[in-house]
Amino acid sequence: MNIQKRILLIEDDESMGFLLKDSLEGYNFHVTHLTDGLPALPLLKKQSFDLCLLDVMMPKIDGFSLASEIRSFNLDIPIIFLTAKSMKEDKIKGFKVGADDYVTKPFSIEELVLRIKAILKRGKITNLTNESINFDAYSLDITNLILHTQQESIQLTQKEADLLSLFVKNPNTLLRREYILKSIWKDDSYFLGRSLDVFISKLRKYFKETSSIKISNIHGTGYKFVILDSSL
């Protein structure tokens, strides 16, 4: 059974938003619709989504500015802009702020679905392993990006799964920030370092109920994934 992909749709036109939500759910996507971009930022920090659909022309905060804010703490989630603008300069601006695709209104729902599926499929290609790793009372399904606990199964993003896999394969070992960044992001710039800190915070939340696992910050050096009662 395929896991439903979660889409965050931000479209200020309520009629258009309702139509898109209803149509995408007909293709087995789980869609959360917001009519204002500002609530999207705290929502994306609390919940995991597989893709964002952003309208460009919105009150309070436009799509370009919102995408820039999202990219300041999440480099992983794909972003598709929905816009009536077709000027080359606007498309270039969209890609510069981190968009993965750009769909000009009016468009068919079939075209949008094909673009969404292409981007989600592209994201899966980076994970070619077919394995699960057991540690403490947890199991990390690398293929399907799922962290299994005794109480629940947590759907991870690609970057969350990659980072956790790196830690689990190197338990109780100091991993330097530069090594982590080059292993996961292929770059160790300051900007990406801030993103790493965000992902570390996300992983810590998944283990907040246990005292046997913690991610220690070695100041100025890196992180250590500590399993106090490790069978590895």
Beta-bridged to residue 213, according to DSSP, are: 227
Which of 229, 225, 200 has the alpha carbon at shortest distance from 214? 225
Please give the residue that has the higher pLDDT: either 10 or 105. 10
SS3 content of the chain, % helix, strand, coil (to 5): 40, 25, 40
pLDDT digits (tens, 9 = 90+) for 128-145: 344 788 888 888 988 888
Question: What is the per-residue pLDDT for 229?
Answer: 56
- Residue type at 45? K
pLDDT at 215 over 90: yes
Quick: pLDDT tens for 35-65: 998 899 899 888 889 999 999 888 888 888 9
Residues paired with 6 in a beta bridge: 30
Q: Which segments of 53-208 does DSSP mark as H helices, in order?
A: 63-71, 88-96, 109-124, 158-168, 177-184, 190-206
Q: What is the pLDDT of residue 93?
A: 76
**Nearest 10 degrees: Cα torsion 100, 167, 199, 216:** -160
Q: pLDDT averaged over the chain?
A: 84
More confident residue, 156 or 126: 156
pLDDT tens digits, 149-186: 877 889 988 889 999 999 998 888 999 998 998 888 87
C-alpha to C-alpha distance for 129 and 147, rounded to whole angstroms:
15
